[in-house]
Each structure stands twice: as C-alpha cells, then as structure tokens.
Amino acid sequence: MGGPADDYLSLKRLESNTMEQQKHQKEHIDFNLQDFGGDEHAAMAAMYEETLKDFTEGSIVTGKVLEIRPTTVLVDIGYKSEGLIPVGEFKNLEELKEGDEIEVLLESLEDDEGMVILSKQQAEQQRNWDRVLEQFTEGGNIEGIIRNRVKGGLIVDVGVEAFLPGSQLDVVPVRNIEDYMNRPLTFKILKINKERRNIVLSRRELMEDERREQKKVLLTEIKPGQMRRGIVKNITDFGAFIDLNGMDGLLHITDMSWGRINHPSEMLHVGQELDVMILDVNLEKERISLGLKQKTTNPWDDIDTKFPINSRVRGTVVNLMPYGAFVELEEGVEGLVHVSEISWTKRIAKASDVMAVGDIIDAVVLSINREEKKISLGMRQIEANPWDDVLEHYPIGARVTGKVRNFTSYGAFVELEEGIDGMIHVSDMSWTRKVNHPSELLKKGEDVECVVLEVDPNNQRISLGLKQAQEDPWTAISSKYQVGQIVQGKISKLTSFGAFVEMEEGVDGLVHISQISDDRVQNVKDVLHIGQDVEARVVKVDPVERRIGLSIKAAQISDEEFEVDEEMLKGLQPGEDLVDLAGAFDQAFDNVGSSAEEWHPGQ
C-alpha cells in the first residue's frame, strides 16, 4: 500500500474521471485513508468534499482566471474540470489578468469533452435583470441606448435588452433612426414580463407627458405679438405645424411670405428651427395661429413711393397665364403684364409665346391698386409707339398696298406693315354689289390695293376702302342703260322677292317676282335658277340710289307696246330696301321659298 503522497495524486486523478468512476474511486480512497492518522484523514476528506461540492446549473458562481488564450479564457470554478469562455464576452479584455476572480453563469456541468460550460455575459445579464426588477417598475423611467433595429421596432440596452416599438420612438414621424442610435435616452417602462424576461419601453409617452405639462405653462404665458422659437413638425398643402415646445401652432401658407408661395415646402422643411410670431391664441380650442411674414414690414405699405406710375422697373417672371405674365418686382410685390401691353405691333396670343418663367424683363408701371395689391405693367411702353407716326406714313386718301390677313363677318383685315393693320368694311368693297362676307371678293394672303379712308392713332385703327381704289361704274350707267332697253344677262342670285341678273361684271339689275312671268309666281326658284341666261327689259335706272329695275315679262312685248306702268315699278319704289342693290343681299338666300306677299303686302 502506497504512502499519503500517492493517495493524494490518486485523488487529483479522480477529478478528471466521470461521475461513475468517481464513486468507485471514492470507495477505494476511503479504504486507503484508513491507514492515515485521524488528522490527516480529516484534511484529505475536507479537500475531497470541497472538490465535490454541489454545483447547480443556471446559478452564478465565482471563478478564477487560469489562462487567457487568443479566443477563449480558461476559468476554474472549483469543480472537477475547468470552463472556457469566448473572449467576446469580455468588454475590457485588455484589463483582464490571470488570477482575477470573476462571476460567471454555470450553463452546464459538462459538455461532450467533459468541460464546464460557463458564460460571463449571461451572468452580467442576470445581475442586470435582477437589478432592473429591484430598482424599476412599470410606469417608471429608465435610461438606455438604442443599439439596433428589429422587426417592428428597436432594441434598447438598459442593462438588459428591452424592446421599443417603432411608433413609440418620438411624437413626430421619424425620418432617420440613425439620429437616435447609440446615445443615452430616457424611456418610460410600459410592461415588464418577469417570466419571459421582456421589457417594453416608450419614449413617446414620456415626451407626451412632458408636453402636457409644458402645454399648461405655455397657454398661460403665450400672447399675440410674441416671438417664439419653434421646430417644423409637419408640412401640409395649406401650411406647416410648428412645435412650440409644449404644443403645436399652425403657420398658414398665406402667413409665410409677402410673396408668392405655391407650397410650404418651398420655404420650410421638417426639423427646421425658426422664429415665428404669435398671431392669435384660442384658449378654448387650444389653437395657436402663427406668422412668419409678419416679422418684416408689409412691402405694399409704401408701394407708391417705391414704384411710382410711369417709372421703369425690372422684375422676374414668376407665373404665366394665357392673359398675361406675373412679374415679381421684389419679395411680396408682383405686377401683371397683360398680353395687350407686351407689344405695340406684334399680335400676342398668349404670354408664354414670348417669355418663360424665370425671365428677367423691363417694364413700365401703368397703374397701382394698393387695396387689391395689384400693379399693372407694360412692356411695350419701353419702346416708341409706331402708331404715333401712322398719320405721316398713311395719310388719308393715300393709295396703299397690303396683304389680306384675316376675315370677320363685317370686313377684312389688311396688313400694311408688321403690326399695323387696316380694315376694309364690307360696305367699302364694291360699288355695285352688296357684299355679305369679304370672302366673296377677297382671299387670305392676296395683295390688294386700297385707299386710306380714316386714321385713328388713339384706338390704333385704319379704315381702308377697296372700291375707292377703282372707278365707280355708276358714273356711266345712266348713259349706258336706258329705260325700255333690252339686255341679256345671267341669274346671279335668287331671293324670295325676285332675282338678280348680272348684266356685266359688277352691274346687277333686279327682276321683281311680279315681273318674272305673266303667270303668278309663288316661289322664284320654281321658274328661275342661278346661272340661267335671261332676257329682260330695263324699266328703271336710278344712279343716285344705284338701282336698276328689270322686267322679264316686259321683254316679251314689242317696243311700240312697251310702256312703263305702276305695276312694273311696284317693287322698285324709292327707299325700298328690297330693290336697293346696296341692300338687297341683306336678305338670306334661303328665303326663296317665302311668298312675295311677305315682302310686298300690297301685291
């Protein structure tokens, strides 16, 4: 039987064996220990009992650092085998030394290799969790640091990991979570689940609690006219909500600037700090109206001094409409250049044809309306008005040549030069014919010679005459056509009261319905048609009234038998518009179906 030293070595070998081996070895050692004296036997037994003391999995124990390796730390907790802890669980690994005592959590007594499984990190979490349960309760406040994001929210380090729902981070929509990460913040504890070790936090409720207290103070202190510092909380189409550190105030878009603003985002952005003026406080509804433009003087207060009438100004085109352009003269002051005030000579259909938003233009102030905050501007006034010299260029009676530009129902516009038009009225187009529409004699784009009849520079009008540039055929009519003369011609127009016969170019005579046939004619179109060749006898010539009366049925009798009677002249009485060649075509051509009695009740 060996000595005590050999028995001690046997005891150390026991520590590396399995629990089953330990039982048998213990019996063997107990037998050998009987050979020792009483004191030595007691010392060895105590050493063994210390080695085999009770270790509970999940408990926190104290261990000694035996060795610091590249990836693990070897720790002795007094058990039969040591444990390894990953170096990543040590926050300050560089300060750790062999021989240091540390607290660790005993996860398992043995792994597959017989090593004890330990965790320093879980031991710290357990201690922290116990501390949280001891020091904090639901509804209380706790400090923490947001570490990372998870689905639906954020993980907050408060000593242990706690969950912060995304909606509970702030009272305003969060655009950049990175601004809140990795910095100390205070949270309110909403829920603690001891069984599942879950903590739910809210920063928003904490802030709302603070805001309620701040709101009470704010409503007692705030007054209209005060200047307050605020932060843009939210932007809408109609304005912006400003956080006044206690409650929100509305800064309406109309109170942001004296100038034009299409949307509040042109001036503000969420999170922006700015000073605003308190315009109104409604304590009952707890509403605050704010102003930004009120911090500066209203530019319209001295508008007459800054922009006197007839003064020349320069501005930027800020908006275009079909009827004109809005020009910003300074912030908050705009004037309108109407399309009619853009050019003296060019025909401007809409302002966008000649300018664009952002253009810098010169103009002249035409009028100012302070009450309605309107300024009328003119661009053409910058240049000389060509109509001022139009009388010199186009004196009355002068013959001019121009191009037919456009038609209206009452005449034709003739361009004499760029921007200078004259108008030929239908009554001044022909000596012999009533012209219903200028297209009967003229074509767009053709050159015509006219005579200047009237010039009105103030209203920018020139009246032209087409017939005045031609010889009046009626000067020879009385000598060329006499009463009783037989003439040949073609039907040129039909009306309800008769037919017009073209005897030569530009000279028409009227056959009244009563002079078409010896038989009663109800409808002219039943017996005559346009283009038909007819023979008729002249029954009246009136150069003054510019009328020629014809009779087809009178052409059927001999010259000896012919005699003008009242029946022939019945429809050709002086002043009768129906036979006035200058007015006969006023009647619609589709009236051919009307009866002659409608025009001549006495027939």
Domains along the sequence of the chain with CATH: 4-122 (2.40.50.140), 136-207 (2.40.50.140), 222-295 (2.40.50.140), 303-382 (2.40.50.140), 386-469 (2.40.50.140), 480-599 (2.40.50.140)
- Above pLDDT 70, what percent of the chain? 85
DSSP 67-135: EE-SSEEEEE-SSSS-EEEEGGG-TTGGG--TT-EEEEEEEES--TTSPEEEEHHHHHHHHHHHHHHHH
Q: Coil, strand, or helix at residue 406?
A: strand
Calpha distance 599→596 (Å, rounded): 5
pLDDT tens for each residue of 249-304? 999 998 998 877 889 998 899 989 999 999 998 888 888 999 998 888 888 888 88
The pLDDT value recorded for residue 41 is 52
pLDDT in tens, 197-219: 788 999 998 888 888 888 887 88
Distances (CA, A) of 313 to 48, 95, 148, 159, 366: 107, 77, 60, 69, 11
Cα 473 from Cα 431, distance rounded (Å)? 7
> Which pair of structure tokens corresponds to residue 544?
């003054």
Cβ contact 537:485 at 8 Å: yes
Cβ density class 111-136: b for 16+ within 10 Å, e for less: eeeebbbbbbebbbbbeebeebeeeb
pLDDT of residue 372 exceeding 90: no
Among 112, 64, 119, 53, which Cα is nearest to 88's? 119
Judging by DSSP bridges, how do beta strands 486-495 and 461-465 pair with one another? unpaired
Determine the pLDDT at residue 297: 84
pLDDT at 593: 36
Give 179-195 pLDDT, tens digit per residue.
899 989 999 999 888 77
- What pLDDT score does 43 carry? 56
| Comparison of pLDDT for 123 and 53, the residue scoring more | 123
Confidence of residue 594 (pLDDT cuts 50, 70, 90): very low
Q: Which two tokens stand for residue 501?
A: 């016969």
The burial of 594, by beta-carbon neighbours within 10 Å (0-12 exposed, 13-18 middle, 19 or more buried), is given as: middle
The SS3 call for residue 46 is helix
Please report, for residues 6, 11, 23, 31, 240, the alpha-carbon distance to residue 27 in angstroms, rounded to integers and kept in the order given.
Answer: 16, 11, 7, 6, 87
pLDDT for res 550 = 93
Q: Is residue 470 over pLDDT 90?
A: no
pLDDT digits (tens, 9 = 90+) for 40-66: 555 555 554 555 456 777 688 888 888
Q: Which of 140-144, 391-395, 583-587 has the lowest mean pLDDT?
A: 583-587
- How would residue 321 be classed by pLDDT, with cut points 50, 70 and 90? very high
**411-447 pLDDT, tens per residue?**
999 998 877 889 999 989 988 777 889 998 899 999 9
pLDDT at residue 42, rounded to an integer: 58
**Smallest Cα–Cα separation from 194: which of 247, 136, 134, 133?**
133
In the predicted structure, residue 558 carries a pLDDT above the cut 80: yes
| pLDDT at residue 587 greater than cutoff 80 | no
pLDDT mean over 556-561: 87
